[in-house]
Amino acid sequence: MQILVQKFGGTSVASHELRLAAIRHVEVALSEGYQVVVVVSAMGRKGDPYATDTLLSLLQGVDLGSPRDKDILMSCGETISAVVFAAALRGRGHDVVVLNGGQAGISTSDRFGDARILEIRPQRILSELENGRIVVVMGFQGVNEDGDVTTLGRGGSDTTATALAVALNAQRVDIFTDVDGIMTADPRIVDEARKLKRVTYTEICNLAYQGAKVIHPRAVEIAMQKNVPIRVRSTQSMDEGTLVTSATAVLETATVADRFLTGVTQTAPVTQISVHQEELRGQNVFALMAEHAISVDFISVGTDRVTYTVPGKDGQKAAELIRGLGAGPQVVENCAKVAAVGAGIAGVPGIMAKIVDSLRKEDIEILQSADSHTTIWCLVHGEQMEKAVRALHQAFELDSPV
Ligand code: ADP
Ligand code: MG
pLDDT digits (tens, 9 = 90+) for 3-24: 999 999 999 999 999 999 999 9
Across the range 97-118, mean pLDDT stands at: 98
Q: What is the pLDDT of residue 248?
A: 77
Q: Is the pLDDT of residue 105 over 60?
A: yes
Residue type, 331: V
Closest ligand 1 atom, CA of 181? 25
Closest ligand 1 atom, CA of 157? 4
Give, using CA atoms, the residue closest to atom 10 of ligand 1. 214
- With a 6 A CB cut-off, is 11 part of the ligand 1 pocket? yes
Residue type, 60: Q
Query: Of the bound ligands, which one is closest to the alpha carbon of residue 11?
Result: 1
The DSSP H or E segment spanning 331 is strand 330-341
Q: What is the pLDDT of residue 2?
A: 97
For residue 267, give the 3-state DSSP assignment.
strand
* pTM of the entire predicted model: 0.92
- Cβ contacts of 164 within 8 Å, gap of 6 or more: 5, 37, 39, 104, 106, 120, 122, 125, 137, 170, 173
Confidence of residue 93 (pLDDT cuts 50, 70, 90): very high
Confidence of residue 344 (pLDDT cuts 50, 70, 90): confident
d(CA 225, CA 214): 20
CA angle centred on 103, ends 98 and 107, rounded to 5°: 135
Across the range 241-270, mean pLDDT stands at: 81
For residue 101, give the 3-state DSSP assignment.
coil
Q: Range with the lowest mean pLDDT among 230-239, 341-350, 375-384? A: 341-350
> Pairing between strand 134-138 and 35-40?
parallel
- With a 6 A CB cut-off, is 272 part of the ligand 1 pocket? no
Confidence of residue 350 (pLDDT cuts 50, 70, 90): confident
How close is the Cα of 67 to the center of ligand 1, in Å?
28
d(CA 107, CA 209): 25
Across the range 257-277, mean pLDDT stands at: 90
Q: What is the pLDDT of residue 347?
A: 75
- With a 6 A CB cut-off, is 18 part of the ligand 1 pocket? no
Confidence of residue 259 (pLDDT cuts 50, 70, 90): confident
How close is the Cα of 214 to the center of ligand 1, in Å?
3
Instruction: Please state whether the peptide bond connecting residue 311 to the residue before it is cis, i.e. omega within 30 degrees of 0.
Output: no
d(CA 124, CA 118): 17
Q: What is the pLDDT of residue 253?
A: 61
Q: Is the pLDDT of residue 314 over 70?
A: yes
- With a 6 A CB cut-off, is 204 part of the ligand 1 pocket? no
- The closest of 187, 278, 203, 275 to 244, measured between CA atoms, is 203
Q: What is the pLDDT of residues 139-169, one digit of tens each?
A: 999 999 999 999 999 899 999 999 999 999 9
Q: Is the pLDDT of residue 256 over 90?
A: no
Confidence of residue 250 (pLDDT cuts 50, 70, 90): low
Q: What is the pLDDT of residues 197-243, one digit of tens each?
A: 999 999 999 999 999 999 999 999 999 999 999 999 999 999 999 99
Query: Of the bound ligands, which one is closest to the alpha carbon of residue 40?
Result: 1
Across the range 38-49, mean pLDDT stands at: 95
Give, using CA atoms, the residue closest to atom 12 of ligand 1. 214
- With a 6 A CB cut-off, is 214 part of the ligand 1 pocket? yes
Do the Cβ atoms of 366 and 287 come closer than 8 Å?
no
How close is the Cα of 179 to the center of ligand 1, in Å?
7
Over the range 316-352, which residues count as b (16 or more CB within 10 Å of their CB) and which as e? eebbebbeeeebebebbeebbbbbbbbbebeeeeebe
Q: What is the pLDDT of residues 277-288, one digit of tens each?
A: 999 999 999 999
How close is the Cα of 20 to the center of ligand 2, in Å?
20
pLDDT averaged over every residue in the chain: 94
